[in-house]
Amino acid sequence: MTKIVLARVDDRLIHGQVMTAWIQYTGGNHIVIVDDVTAQDDFTKQIMQMAVPAGIKLDIYNVQEAPQKINANQTDKLIILAKTPQVFLQLIQAQVVLPGVIIGGMGANKGRQKVYKNIFMNAAEKQAVQAIGAQGVEVKVQVIPDEKALSIEKVDLN
């Protein structure tokens, strides 16, 4: 069975925080980025690969191919990263079993409203988070592992 140790929404994908704190916290040894734009951008993929510590695998898939690739992995401890909660909803709908979804970094941009501290979402993202919860998958806000996780139910998504 596929071992997913972290499913995290972070619009920065790979950055120092993910590389250090979350890998240590989860014991993950294989990062899977699910993002259509990144999967088609060879330059960005090279940059992402350079940011990954030695000994950690990296794969970057588009949303369509990701479910099969994730479910086929029976050996690694996967850290799945996506820029939006919609990606995780699509994975769930494609029969990827997630242990939960952590909302980490969703910065301010046009159309997004502040929902909690430095977490911003637009209407579609809020709907996706609610739909993930409706599928029985726990959603929490947690920027860093040392921070106490906050159930998304305690965040104002209206």
Distance of CA 24 to the CA centre of its chain: 16
Cβ contacts of 1 within 8 Å, gap of 6 or more: 74
Contact 79, 117 (CB under 8 A): no
User: What is the per-residue pLDDT across 40-54, written as a single tens digit (0 to 9) for each?
Assistant: 999 999 999 999 988
Q: Is the dihedral of CA 31, 110, 154, 87 positive or negative?
A: negative
User: What is the per-residue pLDDT across 123-141, written as a single tens digit (0 to 9) for each?
Assistant: 999 999 999 999 999 999 9
pLDDT recorded at residue 18:
73
Structural domains for the chain:
3-154 (3.40.35.10)
Rounded to two decimals, the pTM is 0.95
- What does the pLDDT average to over 81-85? 97
Cβ contacts of 39 within 8 Å, gap of 6 or more: 33, 45, 60, 61, 62
HSE toward the beta carbon, residue 140, CA cutoff 13 A: 16
Task: Sort 148 into a burial class: Cβ within 10 Å, 0-12 / 13-18 / 19+.
Answer: exposed
Q: Is the pLDDT of residue 17 over 80?
A: no
